[in-house]
């Protein structure tokens, strides 16, 4: 039997939680238990198939653990005795803990489509060998169908086309690609960018049957159409790995995630915390459960858990849903709510927009027109959401929005921002689009307040 | 005589103030009075001589004024009668105003070096024709000396070398280039990057005499050394244009800037505001006067003035000194105080550092190692400064810091950030350097607070 202060079950968020714990409590012993030999960068998985050229180039080095004094124990945890505070591994090893963290992540959702278990149908698992097999199959494929036009699906489509002579079709059941994440104008822009590469995108369309004998040969769509396919990639969402949590008697909540309070402590056991895709999330906007799973949330939660283990202090403000993606060299980013979402609530809102090249003056090379849309509450002008499309700086611009949303900044706050600008790096000081979009949101409020 | 609600005297910040005013008070008439025919993008001026290829590519289009319903009146204001609320122009035209804004900017400082008035010695004025002449001279120059290793000097050196067979030497009196803006390690990095291009940099060295008959032929340094030169560019700072303000009886403050309150209203006259380089600035850190002049401050002040003209509400939090630059393709950005500055105060501080490539995983192309240094107060862990060097995203990362500093965020706040990450756009979620540098600042506080 091993003994530890803190045992962590899991992958990426487990590493972050462990590092955070060691930083806050350097005298505590931390053991990370995981079954995977190698942990992949989750957001890097689509890029294995194009830009980075193989799963071996998408690995999170275990040196991080060593450098932070975290012991790695490879093995599958199969039982948690909460009374004895004991984790049992598949090979019989046991680990006695003082505090336990579930960071068990998620796996791909596999929908009950007839034929889904045929050969060459690939849900996107986060396993090294599996993803190597997917690579081999992809290099021999001629007709690839990607089911699901969310990030995973769109990024896979954009990467798989690179350097391959292959027909790719994305099939999305909703009216727009990326519809769960972005408003229509950005969804349409992303879809158009992807289609420019030759990838076909079908929206409002569902795969009803996967055809073929042993291996897939095609699909039948709900519209009746049939498409040829020798490979299918599934990108329709993820389900939390919470079987062990449930078996341990931890209360599960929304969509089978582990119920946690604002300290990320499980509802059931004050010595057990959870973070990442396996933990229940609530929206920053209204505190209601949300199914969103993103690295920006996972790592924030993990840092909160690590800091709270021996002194619950840090509160999770709720998921802001910050993310960015790149489709055919155009970057898209979102933070907070979409207009589609806020429309369904009773909250009145103001939506504003500004555009500017991301360099200045006009003659600077490598300039990309950047478009910013901001959503403010109507009555307080608090920023609750924003979306940006443009070039590489979008990745950090959306983080400016994230900081603003998290700290309840108002349009007036943003109008006063002192934003650094430089000809080669940003929009011009008088065109800076986050500020200019905020400026436009000020008018209605001012109109009201100036009555007095 | 013309009549207007708002008269604005000046260039870039005048445009921003006018637009802001029209947005907040759409029923008010705004006239912008300026002597310059064309307004240049100030931060773009060094880029005229390399990347953008001429002053005509560095112009702020007057269409902005038209689109925002601002009347442009070209002419030089020579008198302000505050009692009659009347501006008189050089050509005799008069403008009766209700509110007046001084946005008269600054001009290059010209030090009393013997020989400074020789031919081919160029202070950097913001005038179109003058900068065209500078271009012509530059294209014929063989030996260029740049006096002053601040931004203007460093950026000029980096641009002038592009596409020209020319010897360039930067002469800086202080021990480091960019010393007023950045801490030594970043100054050294910037200097080394510039030297890689072949530009020579002399620090701790002063030009004592400018040699030559009619035109410059060289300089004599304080060390006794002589350098050949057929052209000199001066980049040693700027002085505010406040002669008219002084003549109008407005109180001047630090370094002859116009004294303003937190609403950017002049001390002397409640109907006269000032913004930009001509207005006095105080530091966000301690409220004491600071001589910093930056576009990030100018445009923020201008928006505050525009909003306050008929209802003073918005307060200027003080200059955060946010800026970014690029030297030989490496970007540098700073927000808030430097360690050099805070060391001279009684404030105890914690300084932390993190590095990460700005893409992930390792195999992604176009990856640049990004270095972040953050400065927090020791007792409250409030972020008061930060510096970053890296690739193009530095321009927006420094704006994340600006938002954090402006809103008094602490290391704990930043640790909880939900930062969007993407393989092609940012560092990895577990390496994101702004967050990781903040994580390191948490320890000493935790140690103290956990005593209880």
ipTM of predicted assembly, 2 dp? 0.94
Give residue for tokens 């004998």. Answer: A213
Residues B354 and B291 in one domain: no
Size of chain A, expressed as the number of residues it contains: 452
Contact A423 B363 (CB under 8 A): no
Q: How is residue B286 written in tokens? A: 């301690």
Query: Checking DSSP bridges between strand B99-103 and strand B6-10, what pairing results, if any?
Result: parallel
Please tell me the predicted confidence (pLDDT) of residue A12. 86
- Rounded Cα distance between B239 and B108, Å, is 6
Range of the domain at A395: 329-449
In chain A, which among 87-106 make CB contacts under 8 A with chain B? Answer: none
Residues contacting B234, CB < 8 A, separation 6+: B108, B109, B110, B111, B116, B121, B122, B123, B124, B146, B147, B148
Residues contacting B259, CB < 8 A, separation 6+: B250, B251, B252, B253, B266, B267, B268, B280
What's A426's domain CATH number?
3.30.390.30
Please tell me the predicted confidence (pLDDT) of residue B442. 79
- Rounded Cα distance between A386 and A405, Å, is 9
In chain B, which among 17-56 make CB contacts under 8 A with chain A? Answer: 19-20, 23-24, 26, 41, 43-44, 47, 51-53
In a domain, A163, yes or no: yes
- Rounded Cα distance between B381 and B415, Å, is 12
Please tell me the predicted confidence (pLDDT) of residue A443. 61
Please tell me the predicted confidence (pLDDT) of residue B446. 46
Asked if pLDDT for residue B444 goes beyond 50, the answer is: no
Our CA-based measurement puts residue A36 at a distance from the nearest CA of chain B, in whole angstroms, of 18
Asked if pLDDT for residue B50 goes beyond 90, the answer is: yes
In a domain, B112, yes or no: no
Asked if pLDDT for residue B447 goes beyond 70, the answer is: no
Q: How is residue B406 written in tokens? A: 């402006």
B423 CB neighbours in chain A (<8 A) are 41, 43-44, 47, 51-52
Contact A125, A107 (CB under 8 A): yes
> Which of A88-92, A432-436, B132-136, B360-364 is the least confident region?
B360-364
pTM of this prediction exceeds 0.80: yes
B424 CB neighbours in chain A (<8 A) are 47, 51, 326, 331, 392, 395
* Four-point Cα dihedral A148, A154, A157, A163, nearest 10: -170
Contact A430 B322 (CB under 8 A): no
In this complex, the residue of B298, B363, B425 whose CB is nearest that of residue A429 is: B298
Segment (H or E) for B227: strand B226-228
B360 CB neighbours in chain A (<8 A) are 41, 43-44
Residues B155 and B56 in one domain: no
Contact A400 B404 (CB under 8 A): no
Residues B335 and B444 in one domain: yes
Contact A298 B450 (CB under 8 A): no
Contact B158, B328 (CB under 8 A): yes
Q: What is the pLDDT of residues B229-250, one digit of tens each?
A: 999 999 999 999 999 999 999 9
In a domain, B266, yes or no: yes
Q: How is residue B290 written in tokens? A: 């600071």
In this complex, the residue of A297, A363, A396 whose CB is nearest that of residue B400 is: A396
Residues A102 and A153 in one domain: no
Contact B417 A430 (CB under 8 A): no
Which residues does residue B145 pair with via DSSP β-bridges, in sequence order? B169, B232
Residues B36 and B75 in one domain: yes
In a domain, B313, yes or no: no
In chain A, which among 382-441 make CB contacts under 8 A with chain B? Answer: 392-400, 402-404, 406-407, 409, 412-413, 415-426, 428-430, 432, 435, 439-440
Burial letters A291-328, b for 16+ CB under 10 A, else e: ebbbbbbbbbbbbbbbbbbbebebebbbbbbbbbbbbb
Asked if pLDDT for residue B451 goes beyond 80, the answer is: no
B449 CB neighbours in chain A (<8 A) are 311
CA distances, A341 to each of B20, B360, B384 (Å): 31, 31, 36
Omega within 30 of 0 (cis) for the link into A361: yes
Q: How is residue B263 written in tokens? A: 């609403």
Size of chain B, expressed as the number of residues it contains: 452
pLDDT in tens, chain A (452 residues): 999 999 999 988 999 999 999 999 999 999 999 998 888 988 999 999 999 989 999 998 888 899 999 999 999 999 999 999 999 999 999 999 999 999 999 999 999 999 999 999 999 999 999 999 999 999 999 999 999 999 999 999 999 999 999 999 999 999 999 999 999 999 999 999 999 999 999 999 999 999 999 999 999 999 999 999 999 999 999 999 999 999 999 999 999 999 999 999 999 999 999 999 999 999 999 999 999 999 999 999 999 999 999 999 999 999 999 999 999 999 999 999 999 999 999 999 999 999 999 999 877 888 999 999 999 999 999 999 999 999 999 999 999 999 999 999 999 999 999 999 999 999 999 999 999 999 999 764 444 443 33
Please tell me the predicted confidence (pLDDT) of residue B449. 42
Residues contacting B184, CB < 8 A, separation 6+: B176, B340
- Rounded Cα distance between B413 and B421, Å, is 18
CA distances, B18 to each of A415, B60, B80, B382 (Å): 14, 14, 19, 35
Number of compact structural domains in chain A: 3
Which residues does residue B371 pair with via DSSP β-bridges, in sequence order? B355, B389
DSSP H helical segments within B141-218, as ranges? Answer: 151-160, 184-196
* Four-point Cα dihedral B114, B120, B125, B126, nearest 10: 180
Contact B403 A402 (CB under 8 A): no
CB half-sphere exposure, B390, CA atoms < 13 A: 30
In a domain, B37, yes or no: yes
- Rounded Cα distance between B243 and B196, Å, is 43
Contact B90, B76 (CB under 8 A): yes
Name the nearest CA neighbour of B395 among B330, B346, B344, B343.
B330
The model's confidence at residue B322, banded by pLDDT at 50, 70 and 90, is: very high
Contact B264, B275 (CB under 8 A): yes
Our CA-based measurement puts residue A118 at a distance from the nearest CA of chain B, in whole angstroms, of 31
Segment (H or E) for B106: strand B106-108
What's A138's domain CATH number?
3.50.50.60
Q: What is the pLDDT of residues B80-100, one digit of tens each?
A: 999 999 999 999 999 999 999
Mean pLDDT of all residues belonging to chain B: 95
Handedness of CA A127, A133, A136, A138 (dihedral sign): negative
Residues A127 and A164 in one domain: yes
CA distances, A192 to each of A123, A144, A177, A196, A358 (Å): 25, 19, 10, 6, 21
* Four-point Cα dihedral B249, B250, B252, B256, nearest 10: -80
The total of other beta-carbon atoms located within 10 Å of residue B208's CB is 14
In a domain, A316, yes or no: no
Cβ neighbourhood burial of A343 (10 Å; 0-12, 13-18, 19+): exposed
- Rounded Cα distance between A248 and A256, Å, is 14
Contact A253, A240 (CB under 8 A): no
- Rounded Cα distance between B427 and B341, Å, is 29
Q: Nearest chain A Cα to B400, which residue?
A: A400
Q: How is residue B369 written in tokens? A: 């190692």
Residues B209 and B168 in one domain: yes
Segment (H or E) for B337: none
Our CA-based measurement puts residue A130 at a distance from the nearest CA of chain B, in whole angstroms, of 19
Residues A276 and A347 in one domain: no
Residues A9 and A74 in one domain: yes
Our CA-based measurement puts residue B220 at a distance from the nearest CA of chain A, in whole angstroms, of 34
In a domain, A283, yes or no: yes
Residues B186 and B244 in one domain: no
Segment (H or E) for B67: helix B63-67
In a domain, A111, yes or no: no
Our CA-based measurement puts residue A165 at a distance from the nearest CA of chain B, in whole angstroms, of 22
Burial letters B33-63, b for 16+ CB under 10 A, else e: bbbeebbbbbbbbbbbbbbbeebebbbbeee
- Rounded Cα distance between B432 and B436, Å, is 6
Name the nearest CA neighbour of B242 among B255, B232, B233, B229.
B255
- Rounded Cα distance between A435 and A412, Å, is 10
* A67–B contact, CB cutoff 8 A: no
B53 CB neighbours in chain A (<8 A) are 363
Query: Checking DSSP bridges between strand B216-221 and strand A86-89, what pairing results, if any?
Result: unpaired
Contact B279, B298 (CB under 8 A): no
Name the nearest CA neighbour of B124 among B102, B138, B107, B136.
B107
Residues B407 and B442 in one domain: yes
Q: How is residue A168 written in tokens? A: 């790719």
Our CA-based measurement puts residue A303 at a distance from the nearest CA of chain B, in whole angstroms, of 7
Q: Among B308, B337, B352, identify where a domain stops.
A: B308
Residues contacting A220, CB < 8 A, separation 6+: A207, A208, A209, A211, A226
Q: Nearest chain B Cα to A406, which residue?
A: B417
> Is residue B401 helix, strand or coil?
helix
- Rounded Cα distance between A314 and B147, Å, is 51
Q: Among A214, A236, A258, identify where a domain stops.
A: A236
Residues B384 and B424 in one domain: yes
Q: Among B236, B271, B292, identify where a domain stops.
A: B236
B15 CB neighbours in chain A (<8 A) are 430
Please tell me the predicted confidence (pLDDT) of residue A446. 46
In this complex, the residue of A51, A362, A435 whose CB is nearest that of residue B364 is: A51
């Amino acid at each position: 039997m091993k003994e530890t202060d803190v045992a962590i079950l899991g992958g990426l968020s487990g590493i972050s939680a462990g590092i955070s714990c060691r930083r806050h409590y350097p005298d505590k012993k931390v053991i990370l238990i995981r079954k995977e030999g190698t942990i992949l960068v989750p957001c890097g998985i689509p890029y294995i198939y194009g830009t980075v050229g193989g799963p071996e180039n998408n690995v999170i080095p275990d040196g991080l653990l060593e450098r932070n004094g975290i012991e790695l124990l490879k093995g599958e945890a199969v039982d948690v005795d909460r009374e004895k505070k004991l984790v049992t591994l598949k090979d019989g090893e046991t680990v006695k803990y003082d505090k336990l963290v579930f960071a068990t992540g998620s796996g791909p959702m596999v929908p009950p489509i007839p034929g889904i278990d045929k050969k060459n149908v690939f849900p996107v698992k986060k396993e090294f060998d599996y993803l190597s097999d997917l690579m081999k199959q992809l290099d021999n494929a001629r007709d690839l169908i990607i089911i699901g036009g969310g990030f995973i699906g769109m990024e896979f489509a954009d990467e798989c086309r690179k350097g391959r002579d292959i027909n790719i079709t994305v099939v999305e059941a909703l009216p727009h690609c990326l519809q769960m994440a972005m408003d229509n104008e950005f969804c349409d822009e992303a879809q158009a960018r992807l289609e420019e590469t030759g990838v076909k995108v079908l929206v409002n369309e569902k795969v009803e049957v996967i055809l073929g004998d042993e291996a897939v040969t095609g699909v039948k769509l709900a519209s009746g159409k049939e498409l040829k396919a020798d490979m299918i990639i599934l990108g329709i969402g993820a389900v939390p790995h919470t079987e062990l949590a449930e078996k341990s008697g931890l209360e599960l909540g929304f969509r089978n995630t582990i119920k946690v309070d604002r300290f990320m402590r499980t509802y059931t056991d004050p010595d057990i915390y959870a973070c990442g895709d396996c933990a229940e999330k609530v929206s920053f906007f209204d505190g209601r459960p949300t199914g969103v799973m993103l690295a920006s949330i996972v790592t924030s939660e993990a840092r909160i858990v690590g800091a709270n283990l021996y002194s619950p202090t840090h509160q999770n403000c709720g998921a802001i849903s910050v993310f960015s993606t790149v489709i055919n060299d155009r970057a898209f980013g979102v933070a907070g709510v979409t207009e589609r979402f806020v429309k369904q609530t009773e909250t009145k809102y103001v939506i504003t927009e500004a555009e500017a090249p991301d360099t200045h003056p006009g003659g600077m090379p490598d300039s990309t027109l950047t478009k910013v849309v901001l959503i403010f509450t109507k009555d307080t002008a608090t920023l609750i959401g924003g979306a940006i499309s443009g070039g590489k700086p979008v990745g950090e611009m959306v983080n400016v929005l994230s900081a603003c949303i998290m700290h309840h900044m108002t349009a007036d706050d943003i109008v006063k921002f002192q934003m650094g600008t430089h000809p080669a790096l940003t929009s011009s000081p008088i065109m800076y689009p986050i500020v200019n979009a905020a400026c436009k949101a000020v008018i209605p409020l001012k109109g009201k307040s100036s009555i007095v």
